[in-house]
Amino acid sequence: MKELIKKLTEAWGPSGCEHKVRGLIAEEVRGLADEVRTDPLGNLICRKGSGGAKVMIAAHMDEIGLMVSHVDEKGFMRFVPIGGLRSVALYGNRVYFENGVVGTISAEGEGWRTTPDREKFYIDVSTGAEAGPGVGVGDAAAFWREMVERGNRIVAKALDDRIGCVVGIEAMRKLAKTDHEIYFVFTVQEEVGLRGARPAAFGVEPDIGISLDVTSTGDTPKDDKMTVELGKGAAIKVRDGGHIVPPAIKNLMVKRAEEAGIPYQLEVLPGGTTDAAGIQLSRAGIPSGCISIPTRYLHTVSETVDIGDVQACVDLLVEILSKPIEL
Ligand code: CO
Ligand code: ZN
């Protein structure tokens, strides 16, 4: 599983440019699904089983990044955000473009003591040579960092939400037999407003939706009061900034976790949301829940998860999908 996490987190795929990640996932799921297709927006839809409840599982392939909006005479590039960029996480960071060019981010007036506004930041892609870097206005970039292991912890960029993709793929692997019609959907453009999950849900028309995504934790110094902790198991979402999970779904997840002895914790997230919110509001309404992977330092290049929690999320999803789903 760690090899897959490394492969997917290190892949390049800012929102709207998920093709590389989709290619990698398509290879992984070959032979695991009864049918695999890509919809018009780029969502990868994998069906497994038929009959029973129609369930849509969603994990997003895209990651936050940026897009070049202006290049000055010296070649310094300004950018607009793709998704929720944190200015505090920009300075000195590295981004890379699809063609492999690496850019360094800095800000006007080095020596500042407070975080500048995003507009003050620029990307340096100077080569010191005659040939330019081959990137410019309209090109998207993602952050660059290698995955590392520290004991049971995995530190990487884009764990949001490649770790959700890993949970989905591993569940497909483990799910020997199901009486349901399950659509594992690897979605596009979640970070810019659930733009892939909504049309995908319209097309799949499921009875119930479940997203697999990261959630923040409340276990670091002076953090918000939040009960989710790293290493305490799968987080079953109760509520986030855009989604109140129907109690019947939350209760079903809790029941399955308790029956199977899978460690879990309840997630009440103050802000943010996931693809499940998009699914829930599509068509005439599709009741949806979410299994969250507790993650520290979201939307930075050092997002951190506990491998035991990831396993608990896989186990819980498999448990739910291999038993009756009555709401
Ligand atoms: Co995110
Ligand atoms: Zn996410």
* pLDDT 10s digits, 7-24: 999 999 999 999 999 999
Cα(298) to ligand 1 centroid in Å equals 7
Count of CB atoms situated within 10 Å of the CB of 84? 12
pLDDT of 211 higher than 90: yes
Tell me the average pLDDT across 226-243: 96
Cα(69) to ligand 2 centroid in Å equals 25
- What fold, for 2-63+147-322? Aminopeptidase (3.40.630)
pLDDT of 25 higher than 80: yes
Neighbours of ion ligand 2 (CB under 5 A): 160-161, 213
Nearest ligand, CA 59: 2
Quickly state the pLDDT bin for 110 (edges 50, 70, 90). Answer: low
* pLDDT 10s digits, 78-101: 999 999 999 989 999 999 999 999
Cα(51) to ligand 1 centroid in Å equals 33
Residue type, 65: G
Query: pLDDT exceeding 90 applies to what percent of the chain?
Result: 89
CA angle 108, 112, 116 (to 5 degrees): 60
* pLDDT 10s digits, 273-311: 999 999 999 999 999 999 999 999 999 999 999 999 999
Q: Report phi then psi at 43, rounded to 5.
A: -65, 135
Nearest ligand, CA 161: 2
CATH 2.40.30.40 fits 65-143, yes or no: yes
Q: How far is CA 1 from CA 123, 160, 261, 314, in A?
A: 34, 16, 21, 11
Cα(248) to ligand 1 centroid in Å equals 26
Neighbours of ion ligand 1 (CB under 5 A): 160
* pLDDT 10s digits, 60-77: 999 999 999 999 999 999
Give domain limits for the chain.
2-63+147-322, 65-143
**Residues with catalytic annotation?**
190
pLDDT of 224 higher than 80: no
Nearest ligand, CA 164: 2
The answer to whether the bond into 117 is cis (omega within 30° of 0) is no
Instruction: Report the C-alpha gap between 235 and 232 in whole angstroms.
Output: 8
Cα(104) to ligand 1 centroid in Å equals 22
**Residue partners of 178: CB distance under 8 A and separation at least 6:** 48, 49, 52, 321, 322
Cα(161) to ligand 1 centroid in Å equals 7
* pLDDT 10s digits, 137-149: 999 999 999 999 9
pLDDT, residue 111, reads: 62
pLDDT of 266 higher than 80: yes
* pLDDT 10s digits, 174-201: 998 889 999 999 999 999 999 999 999 9
Q: How far is CA 35 from CA 39, 43, 57, 182, in A?
A: 13, 14, 15, 11
* Lowest-confidence region among 16-25, 170-179, 259-268: 170-179
Cα(160) to ligand 2 centroid in Å equals 5
Nearest ligand, CA 64: 1
Under DSSP, the state recorded for 120 is G
Nearest ligand, CA 84: 1
Cα(214) to ligand 1 centroid in Å equals 7
Domains 2-63+147-322 and 65-143 fall in the same CATH topology? no
Instruction: Report the C-alpha gap between 259 and 200 in whole angstroms.
Output: 32
Under DSSP, the state recorded for 240 is E
**Residue partners of 287: CB distance under 8 A and separation at least 6:** 207, 208, 209, 246, 248, 249, 280, 327
End-to-end CA distance of the chain: 32
